[in-house]
A and B are shown apart, each in its own frame.
Chain A
Amino acid sequence: MNFLELLIVILSTFVVYFLINQKKLSPVLASSLVTLIFVFILRFYSMNKYESLVFCSSFLGMTSTSRVGYVGLFFSCVFLLGIIKLSATYFTGIGGALGFTAFVSVLFPFLIEKLYKFIFLKY
């Protein structure tokens, strides 16, 4: 994991999350628009290898505030990067793998939060 990758993931996730939950943009529009803009910026600086990372993290940003908050989303960014690094060789060339990775990584903080509320706050 290098710092630039983490920065790209956090930036694109939170931009999409902010656009959807604060500016009330459609999730599809926010995700595709942010991906397009980021892809063109990355291509301008010849960093094409980070394209899939941006796309994957934009799915993470499509999460609703009722599911995961800002802190939970930060942790899911780290999880996402870890899962992508570990599963880079698997699932290559199969559609939806990036979305599935995002789904799994957002599931961790969601379940931890649920578990915490169930054990300590009794609801």
Chain B
Amino acid sequence: MGFDIIKILCGLLALINPDLGYSNYMILNNNWSHFLASVFVAIISANVTFFLTQFEMIGPVLASSLVGLLGYLFIKQYAALVYCASFVGMSSVAVGYNHYLISLASFLAFVVFHLSTNYLTGHGGKLGTIAFVASILVYLLFL
């Protein structure tokens, strides 16, 4: 059911803006395994960063850069997505974030990441802004 909703949502967004190359590619080629793998990678990397952030010895900066580096070394095609999701994981427990909210925020970050594939390329801070949009949305809705 949830999967169908995502499919319809992506289809509608692709209809509104035909320039959304990557979303279109995924829908037209029925490349759902890639889509699911991307969601999985985003959620896992955000949660790993969030988990590592809670250790005082590591801290958010080291956790995020470590996850980003590991993402580049092991899953190169998802490196940017891993790095983007790791910024979501830098959210603090003190604000009220937990693993469920981080998972939701990372999914939102994934959606925004794919919708903005053709926009602002080469602009510093793009990935961070995507993560910020997702995190602040979750913060405003649930916290």
Contacts and interface: CB of A to CB of B under 8 A. Distances in A.
Interface residues of B, number: 43
Interface in A38-56: 39, 48, 51-52, 54-55
A14 to B, nearest CB: 12
A72 B68 CA distance: 27
Given A26-B79, A97-B132, A33 B122 contact: no
A89 to B, nearest CB: 13
- Interface SS majority for chain A: helix
B122 A94 contact: no
A28 B61 contact: no
B65 A96 contact: no
A96 B87 CA distance: 5
Contacts of A51: 59, 61-62
A35 B65 contact: yes
Contacts of B27: none
Contact of A95 (B69, B90, B94, B124): B90
Given A32-B66, A64-B123, A93-B97, 13 more contacts: A26-B79, A27-B80, A32-B69, A35-B61, A39-B65, A59-B127, A59-B128, A67-B124, A92-B92, A92-B95, A94-B136, A99-B130, A102-B124
